[in-house]
Amino acid sequence: MIEGSDFIGLGYNFLQLTINSIEEMEKQGNKSLLFFKGNLSDDELKSRYDDKTKWNDNNIAIPVLFNFYHGVELVLKGLILRCGGQFPNKHKLSFFIDELSKTPNPPSNNLINHFKTILSFDLNNFFNSNNKSVDSFYESFKYPQYKNGESIIFKDIRGLDSEGLKLFIKIKDLAVQVKIEIMDWLAIETNRNTK
């Protein structure tokens, strides 16, 4: 097995879960305000509402974002290993991009630039509102508070209906593009190595 492949494969799994979840959000429209016809009991109303909003950003935004960034982290770690670098035992995404660029056989600029795009992606000012950066994703989407006891503010990424849906579709597109960029790079590498 090629060094780093396990990390890339597992990262793909997290990215695929992100993609699948956002596609379900798209199908339901990410609506939080719904109207129902008929004379429904409270239990029936709650059951219907829960079913129609189970993929709403109020319910899945935080785990989807954690999966997205964790998938990116795993893929970056795998790429560092695949390109001849040393395993980085950290969670800091910007560090991984720097390390990937310094590996003995760095990947294409397109791939590195795509990861830079992911790291600079504005999550409706979520990181700014919390005085953090994407490098703190591991804390920001794993716990309701930071280590200093300060509560995390999630209003910029939850309960946003159509605006939230647009945000998550962009995230889905970024996740899909990771897979495309890696496959393109691997095809070029394979072609180069067979000549």
The answer to whether 75 and 12 are in contact (CB under 8 A) is: yes
Predicted confidence (pLDDT) per residue in 158-187, tens digit: 999 999 999 999 999 999 999 999 888 888
Do the domain assignments include residue 157?
Answer: yes
Structural domain range at position 62: 5-30+54-193
36 is a domain residue? no
Q: CB neighbours of 64 closer than 8 A, spacing ≥ 6?
A: 17, 18, 21, 22, 168, 171
Q: In this structure, is residue 46 part of a structural domain?
A: no
Global pTM reads 0.91
Looking at the domain assignment, is residue 143 inside a domain? yes
43-51 long-range CB contacts below 8 Å, 24 or more apart?
none
Question: Is residue 108 one of the residues assigned to a domain?
Answer: yes
- Does residue 9 fall inside a structural domain? yes
Strand partners for 145: 151
> What total of structural domains would you count in the chain?
1
pLDDT band with cut points at 50, 70 and 90 for residue 138: confident
Whether 167 is in a domain gets the answer yes
Model confidence at 124, pLDDT cuts 50, 70, 90, reads: confident
